[in-house]
Structure formats: C-alpha cells, structure tokens
Amino acid sequence: MNSEWLADFWHYRELLYFLAWRDVKVRYKQAALGASWAIIQPLFTMIIFTLFFGRVAGVPSDGLPYPLFSFCALVPWTYFSTTLSQAGNSLISNAPLVTKVYFPRALLPAASVLSGLVDFLVGASFLALMMMYYRIKPGWSLFFAPFFIAGMVLLSFSVSMFLAALNVRYRDVKYALPFIIQMWLFITPIIYPANFLPARMKPFLAFNPMAGLLEGFRWSLFTTRRLDWGLLGSSVAITVLLLIIGAIYFRKTERTFADIV
C-alpha cells in the first residue's frame, strides 16, 4: 500500500461514502423487516447453538450465560462473514462501473466493509440489551472494544481485496466462498472459548486472525475473562500481513479488471 494509493482513497472518499450508502439501501430494498435482519440472523444462530452446543453437548462458556457468550461473538462474526460474501463479489456485480468509469477499484470492497458496520451497530445494540437483561456490566476494558472492532474491519478489508481480485479471474471463488466461510466459523472460538481446545490444538488457533480479535472483543465486554495476549498478537500480525498481501495482489491485477470482468 503506497502513498499514491492512499491518496487516491482520500481523493475519492465521497465516492466511497456514496457506494457504501448505496449498498445499505440495496441490501434492505423491498425487505419487510429491513435492518431487523441484522439481529434475526445472529439471534436464531445463537438459539441453535445454545440448544445443541450449550445444553446438549455441554460446551463451557467461561461462567457466562451461553446465549450471551455465543451472541457477543456472532455479532462481529456475522459482520465479517457477510462482508466477505458481498465484497468478494463486489467487482463482478459492479462490472458496468468497473469497465466504464475510472476510480480506485478497491473502493468497491471497501464500500462493502463500510456498509456492513450498519448491521454491526444494530446487532451491537441488541447485544447491549442482552447484557442488561443478564445484569452484566462492562468494566474499564470496554474502552478497548473500538480497537478490536477496527481490527475486524481491517481484516475484512484485507481478505475482501484478495477475494474480490481473485474472483475476477477465477469465478470458482463465488462458489467456494460460502464453504470457506462455513469452515472458518467452526475453527473460530464462537461456539466454544479458546481455552476449551486441547493444548496441542492451540498453536493452530494462532493462525486464525479472527480468533484473537473475537476473544479480545469478548474480553472488552466481560470483566471476568482474561485476555490471551499471545493469541491477540498473532491475530494483529497476521491481519497486517494479509493487508499487505491483499493490497499487493489487488494492485497487481487491478489493471486487467476492465478486460476480463
């Protein structure tokens, strides 16, 4: 990511806001429940997880009510997974725009990342109501929540750039993406806490950048939890690495988008 690319982003920032707002309006166009879907999706997933994993399988939840334990991770996960699904197809779905108008093409996946924050805020509001229902008050660690949210936004953008550029050349990405997201869900500590894994499996968890960010987000909300600084450090390092790789690959292939999109 060189200074010229960042300068282009700043120069076209108003277009980024327009594209993000357009994505929000298109997402809920003719949807009777509107933005409520931002709550319904993680809510019903939480109910299923609570029934099968919390009660039947007896998966621990670090002393928290299992519905709250799972929902607080499902809110950012839903943002991340939805963003990847939309941003991964952003160049293909905007082919007429890519072929006819000049602008930094990375604005398209960036707009999906930005627009998804609306859903995240709606889901986070319901999460706050759940915390009030269970009479759980956040502590001083809540001030670190924006850091973990920013990390998830950066990770979403990093992976989205790579997938969007790869999808232009290989349309198989469109079909593989739902499977990748589904598998990523089960290797991320959403259903279970990170310390639930056997010791021999924990080193592999460090290669999942969402693991440390989600565990950090939980820590920022609940004072009874401890933060695994090693897991968080690896998540931050891998996120930065993915940002560099995604930006390099996107810039390398960007000049060919208009010809093959």
The CB density around residue 18, as the number of other CB atoms within 10 Å, is 13
Average pLDDT (59-84) is: 91
62-76, 123-137, 168-182: the lowest-pLDDT one: 168-182
Please provide the DSSP assignment of the chain as one string: --HHHHHHHHHTHHHHHHHHHHHHHHHTTT-TTGGGHHHHHHHHHHHHHIIIIIIIS----TTS-HHHHHHHHHHHHHHHHHHHHHHHTHHHHTHHHHHHS-S-TTHHHHHHHHHHHHHHHHHHHHHHHHHHHTT----GGGGGHHHHHHHHHHHHHHHHHHHHHHHHH-THHHHHHHHHHHHHHHTSTTSS-GGGS-TTTHHHHTT-HHHHHHHHHHHHH-TTS---HHHHHHHHHHHHHHHHHHHHHHHHHHTTHHHH-
pLDDT at 103: 80
Surface-to-core class of residue 3, CB atoms within 10 Å of its CB (0-12 exposed, 13-18 middle, 19+ buried): exposed
Work out the mean pLDDT of the chain and round it to a whole number. Answer: 87
- The answer to whether residue 15 sits within a structural domain is no
Give the global pTM: 0.90
The answer to whether residue 2 scores a pLDDT higher than 70 is no
- The answer to whether residue 180 sits within a structural domain is yes
The answer to whether residue 163 scores a pLDDT higher than 80 is yes
Confidence of residue 242 (pLDDT cuts 50, 70, 90): very high
Contacts of 42 (CB under 8 A, 6+ apart): 71, 74, 75, 77, 78, 123
pLDDT single digits (tens) 27-41: 776 555 666 777 888
Between residues 224 and 53, the one the model is more confident about: 53
- The answer to whether residue 160 sits within a structural domain is yes
- The answer to whether residue 52 sits within a structural domain is yes
- Domain containing 96: what range? 36-260
pLDDT single digits (tens) 184-235: 999 999 998 888 888 788 888 889 999 999 999 999 998 777 888 889 999 9
pLDDT at 223: 76
Task: Name which of 85, 60, 110, 96 is nearest 224 in CA terms.
Answer: 60
pLDDT at 148: 96
Give CA–CA dist 180/242, Å, rounded.
16
pLDDT at 35: 64
- The answer to whether residue 241 sits within a structural domain is yes
The answer to whether residue 259 scores a pLDDT higher than 90 is no
Surface-to-core class of residue 10, CB atoms within 10 Å of its CB (0-12 exposed, 13-18 middle, 19+ buried): exposed
Average pLDDT (50-56) is: 84
Q: What is the 3-state secondary structure (H, E, C) of 193-244?
A: CHHHCCCCCHHHHCCCHHHHHHHHHHHHHCCCCCCCHHHHHHHHHHHHHHHH
Q: What domain count does the chain have?
A: 1
pLDDT at 175: 87
- The answer to whether residue 100 sits within a structural domain is yes
- The answer to whether residue 10 sits within a structural domain is no
The answer to whether residue 170 scores a pLDDT higher than 80 is yes
pLDDT at 198: 80
Winning range, highest mean pLDDT, from 54-58, 95-99, 183-187, 200-204: 183-187
- The answer to whether residue 109 sits within a structural domain is yes
